Structure 1
Amino acid sequence: MIDLKNVSLQFNGKYLFNDVNYRISSGDKISLVGANGTGKSSLLKIITGEIEPESGTVQRQKNISIGYLPQENVTHSNKTLLEEATSALSDIVKLQQKEAGLQKELSKENISDDERDDLIHQLGEVHLRLVELDSYSASSRVEKILKGLGFEEEDFDRLTETFSGGWQMRIALAKILISQNDILLLDEPTNHLDIDSLNWLISFLKSYRGALVVVSHDKNFINQVTDKTLEIYFGKFYTFKGDYDSYLRFKEERDAQAIHQYELQQKKIKETERFIERFRYKATKARQVQSRIKQLEKLDLIELPEIKNEIDIKFPQPAQSGRIPIQLEKVSKSYSDKSVLQNIDLSIERGDKIALVGPNGAGKTTLAKIIAGVLQHDSGERIVGHNTFISYYAQDVADNLDPELDVLDSVYGINEEKTVGELRSLLGSFLFTGDDVFKKVGVLSGGEKSRVALCKILLTKANLIILDEPTNHLDISSKKILQKAMVDFPGSLVIVSHDVDFLRPIINKVLDIRKTGLKFYPGDIDYYLFKRKELTETEKSVSGISEKLQEKNFNNDSISRKEQKRLEAELRQKKYQATKNLTKEIERIEKQISLLEDEQKVLQSKLADSEFYNNPEEVKLTNKRFKEIEKELEELLQNWELKTEELNNILNQFN
């Protein structure tokens, strides 16, 4: 499909890559990797023809269509969302216009038989091409892709200029997917997606038959959608067959071997230099000395791989908060006449590490801001627990930095225990190296400002930290450092994020926020994804059977009683399979509650008897057990409520 032949590209006098060759074939699924500044985005632009290489050629297959999604700076205007998305079907639109023109010509009187035959032949060719492009399902495909990326039907008639920057990127991505390109070049496509649209995109790309080249810092995403890795390494291209995790293992082994070879070469160079220095002025060794000098001149020096020192960043030890750092009771929030959150009850317990997930626009950021106390709710109560100290990282937190301070000054003094050297190491792990730390905040890009703000968070002594999309501007190594700090953090965390790989080792609860309400999942992100998949499959299955029944019932002549019974039995079986485990779990919890309540009544009778207090030791043990039962009952009742709500949600699908 695409051949890069002897391609070179320079930037500021330095080769990003030099004299490289690579072929992208149909069906390739490639992850493009390399350190920051190695030219990944530039390579994508060379493939598209947006920029020309300094030397070499790019040969593209004739009539190949390329879909390219840049990292940023995409805007749309003067069309509705649906019009903009449909414009990606340019080939189909042109063919449909041609079809209408040919039919108009055929309807004319007094055309010759030869002209008629020619028009019919042309019309047949147009129809064949429309079938090849699957034009008759194009409209439904457009809507399906828009909905998959998180747009709702009510958005279809909105003008594109009314959408925010993140949604503008989604529009661009939708158009690329709609247009059925032969190759997709995606530069950080996941930055502006929520967890639902991200999972949908993964599913779409898994079934996509064309070639794919993707640059992404989302390990979970690239592991699932790619099976080859192209690395830009010291100005050359290196390929590896396998997913990203396999490539990382290979890279670790290769780097270790390169370091070993470098050390051996350096040892040999020093031995040669010592020989030259020792015998430089000895006539009997002159020939040998000259030979060794030539050896050194011809030597191909081994370059050390870019190895980042593992920086062990830890949050300062915070003061311990009360058992409940933050509690929300019947909290509601609206913007104008649009209700976002309604009657929210939420208790965050000390040590909780909670992920807020769900579709964009459902209220994740609004809830995070209310928890943090930076946004006032309309009604209800926000109760701050004993000794709670809050730190908040917002998506727009960069706007609150002082533009007159340099990067180092922006983080200096937040934690008096950190030396300047330690601060520079921390900033280096977030890509501020050398003199970068002396740049004024005002000249930094949005992504750079976000990284400064994250560094400030890592230096605070808060015991409740709220982070809204903290990984959007981080490379994989920076994410790893932040991730480890979050795992080791002894306080409470609330994280709004769609980055599954980042969340995986950190969180112990998931709060799913949708327009229908909030739902707690008492487990890690994989448990949440499993339960969501289970629920989605149940919904699809029930929907499919219900549609069959409705379709059959619509025309009673075409359905037998036997067929209707079969479909109804299938629906009952689906309902049983979907609910049997939950039903058993609820029954088990109810039995535990009943046993504990019986025990509690016995203890209450004892404690109500005045003679019982003649034995202080038994009173002490009984009081202790009574408190234990109270706590156990509280936890069981919370679990019962969650399981019952989950069961009701599933049962509603069958009604």
Structure 2
Amino acid sequence: MIRIENISKQLSHRILFIEASAALNRGEKIGLVGPNGAGKTSLFRMIIGHEQPDEGQVSVDKGVSIGYFSQDVGEMSGRSAVAEVMDGAGPVSEVAAELRELEAAMVDPDRMDEMDAIIERYGEVQARYEELDGYALDGRAREVLAGLSFSESMMDGDVGALSGGWKMRVALARILLMRPDVMLLDEPSNHLDLESLIWLEQFLKGYEGALLMTSHDREFMNRIVNKIIEIDAGQLNSYSGDYVFYEGQRALNEKHQQSQFERQQAMLAKEIKFIERFKARASHASQVQSRVKKLEKIDRVEPPKRRQVVAFEFQPAPRSGEDVINLKGVSKRYGDKVIYDGFDFMVRRRERWCIMGINGAGKSTLLKLVAGDSKPDDGTVSIGASVKMGYFAQHAMDVLDGDMTIFEMLETSFPRAGQAPLRALAGCFGFSGDDIDKRVRVLSGGEKARLVMAMMLFDPPNLLVLDEPTNHLDLDTKEMLIKALSQFEGTMLFVSHDRHFLGALSNRVLEITPEGVFQYGGGYTEYVERTGHEAPGLRS
């Protein structure tokens, strides 16, 4: 369906692709992987024709429809979310638009002399609309939006009033409703809660077209894809299998290549030693010449290109008291909506609580109450003795100084730390080389989030309160963070939609449901086994 043939592409001074080739065939579900800046988004844009390769070509079979979801959703306002989604539904939305124009024309007194032709055309268009199942379109659009956690009021309200994250869900819903022959999804799992993520996973599993997607959620990708295309050093390497198979195969390939490299290096060293030893002896001249020519013809094996992921290690944090967080009789309402009513909750030292609940259940509210960003209507929230809190929330990015560089922000926050530790810290969170001199104002939302997290973790707290800490982190940085937090000696209270993160770090689960609040000993993996679902209200 789509062929990428010997493409080369350079952006500014950065080479993205060098004579790279790959293909997307009917029915394939492919995960596109590679480090940040490798060229994943550029590849998508070349497929849809928004960019051109410098050399080679990208060809799409005639008649193949493509739906492309990107992080840049553009402006949306003046229509309901349902209308915005229906407008992107491919041919049926064009027919619907003509139907609306004809309906307006039929009641226009200035067009009475055209009425016979308008009515005849209306009949033709209406038949085509029925053929495309257009009258079911509104219901299907609502079904998709409901799967992405929209309430009825949000579906019918002005899309312009929604936050950026919810507008991204609207843009995603447009592509899903369209059901094109090929879907190109660039980070569809960003901005989704766990319930929406699981719904999308099931939708994509049942989707019959071809899929090419990126995702920083390894569990999400692993359950959907049956092939991986990796961008590595300008090449497109294909692996048949899911993400776990790719990881294992890549490790085996690196090991094999390293062994080949070492064997060849040993052979080369032996040959060079012989040449150096006998090059001055006339009796060995022919043998020396023969070996020199042999070395000139050998194809040199390169060592494997290993991606550099710097490990982050916590400095020892001061020990807190045994009772870290204590909520007694807490009530919290927003208008008529009751979030908590007489809620009691105790967190003890070294417990790692993940908070589960449907959208709007009060997960972030609980974190805000603990952090002091919100006050209870009734009851008390107390923090224990010697507790030093680190709180990560999306609004924390607002405190960054846009005029400072990344390094200046770190240096201002930790004036006694010294350059080397701060540069190492920046590297751990994806700011290497010249990146450290970027002004904060030019950083993306994800880069700002990584900077806030780096600043929070460098001066170690003994209580971490984290609201969706893995949003925007690439797979390698996320893995680094999980490894670092697994060594953390303190206490954690967190919300996350990343199942790998949940399973790796939690040892307690707090589930908030309309029927009440439930506590589970054991982490997320045990919670799934005991409840039979991966998120509240969803059966696995």
The equivalences for 1:379-398 within 5 A come to 379-398=378-397
**Within 2, Cα distance between the matches of 1:326 and 1:341?**
17
Higher helix share: 1
- CA 1:532–1:176 in structure 2 vs 1: closer, same or farther (change >3 Å)? farther
Normalised to the residue count of structure 2, the TM-score between the two structures is 0.86
More strand by share: 2
Cα displacement (A) at 1:265: 3.5
Tell me if 1:76 matches 2:76. yes
Computing the radius of gyration from Cα coordinates, the structure with the larger value is 1
Residue 29 of structure 1 pairs with residue 29 of structure 2: yes
User: How big is the shift at 1:223?
Assistant: 0.7
- Mapped to 2, the partners of 1:11 and 1:534 lie a distance apart of 45
Contact 1:92 1:130 in 2 (8 A): no
Pairwise CA distance, 1:530: 4.7
Amino acid at match of 1:67: G
Matched position secondary structure for 2:505: coil
Secondary structure of 1:307's counterpart equals coil
Q: Which amino acid aligns with 1:313?
A: F
CA deviation vs aligned residue, 1:47-74 (integer Å, no higher than 9, x gap):
1112111122222122222111113454
Is 1:54 the counterpart of 2:92 in the alignment?
no
Residue equivalent to 1:8: 8
Say whether the 8 Å CA contact 2:311–2:428 is kept in structure 1. Answer: no
Cα separation, partners in 2 of 1:21 and 1:336, compared to 1, 3 Å: same
Question: What pairs with 1:229-244 in structure 2 (closer than 5 Å)?
Answer: 229-244=228-243
- On the 8 A contact 1:314/1:458 being kept in 2, the answer is no
Contact 1:398 1:449 in 2 (8 A): yes
State how far apart, in whole Å, the 1-side matches of 2:406 and 2:93 are: 52
**Which letter does structure 2 place at the counterpart of 1:80?**
S
Answer yes or no: is the 8 Å Cα contact 1:17–1:235 preserved in 2: yes
Equivalent residue number for residue 152 of structure 1: 151
Cα deviations by residue, 1:621-652 (Å, 9 ceiling, x for unpaired): xxxxxxxxxxxxxxxxxxxxxxxxxxxxxxxx
Alignment partners' CA distance in 2, 1:299 and 1:539: 59
1:496 alignment counterpart: 495
Map Cα deviations across residues 539-571 of structure 1 (whole Å, 9 max, x no partner): 99xxxxxxxxxxxxxxxxxxxxxxxxxxxxxxx
What SS class does the counterpart of residue 495 from structure 1 fall into? Answer: strand
Worse-matched range after superposition: 491-500 or 257-266: 257-266
Instruction: Look up the match of 1:20.
Output: 20
Aligned residues: 528
SS in 2 for 1:357: strand
- Contact kept in structure 1, 2:354 and 2:510, CA below 8 Å: yes
Change (3 A) 1:451 1:270: farther
Query: Compared with structure 1, are the counterparts of its residues 305 and 430 closer, same or farther at alpha carbon in structure 2 (3 Å cutoff)?
Result: farther
What letter matches 1:21 in structure 2?
Answer: S
C-alpha RMSD of matched pairs (Å): 3.6
Letter in 2 for 1:486: L
Tell me whether 215-224 or 34-43 shows the greater mean CA deviation: 34-43
Change beyond 3 A, Cα 1:326–1:283 = same
Counterpart code for 1:479: K
State the alpha-carbon separation in 2 of the partners of residues 20 and 254 from structure 1. Answer: 19
**1:457 CA drift (Å):** 2.5
**Scaled by the length of structure 1, what TM-score is found?**
0.72
Gaps of 5+ in 1: 109-114, 541-655
1:248-263 correspondence to structure 2 within 5 Å: 248-263=247-262
Q: 1:291 to 1:410 in 2, by over 3 A?
A: farther
Higher relative CO (CA 8 A, sep ≥ 6), structure 1 or 2?
Answer: 2
Q: Which residue of 2 aligns with 1:464?
A: 463
Instruction: Specify whether residues 539 and 34 from structure 1 end up closer, same or farther in structure 2 by C-alpha distance, changes over 3 A only.
Output: closer
1:72-111 aligned within 5 A: 72-95=72-95
Checking the alignment, whether the CA contact within 8 Å between 2:357 and 2:535 is kept in structure 1 is no
Does structure 2 retain, via aligned residues, the 8 Å contact 1:74–1:168?
A: no
CA distance in 1 between counterparts of 2:418 and 2:430 reads: 19
In the alignment, is residue 485 of structure 1 matched against residue 507 of structure 2?
no
CA contact (8 A) 1:75 1:165 kept: no
Q: Which residue number corresponds to residue 67 of structure 1? A: 67
**CA offsets, 1:172-193, max 9 Å, x none?**
1111101111111111111100
SS in 1 for 2:327: strand
CA 1:76–1:24: 2 relative to 1, 3 Å: same
Gap change, CA 1:10 and 1:373, over 3 Å in 2: same
Cα distance in 2 between the residues matched to 1:96 and 1:191: 31
Q: Does 1:373 align with 2:352?
A: no
What amino acid does structure 1 have at the position aligned with 2:78? N
Alignment of 1:444-463 (within 5 A): 444-463=443-462
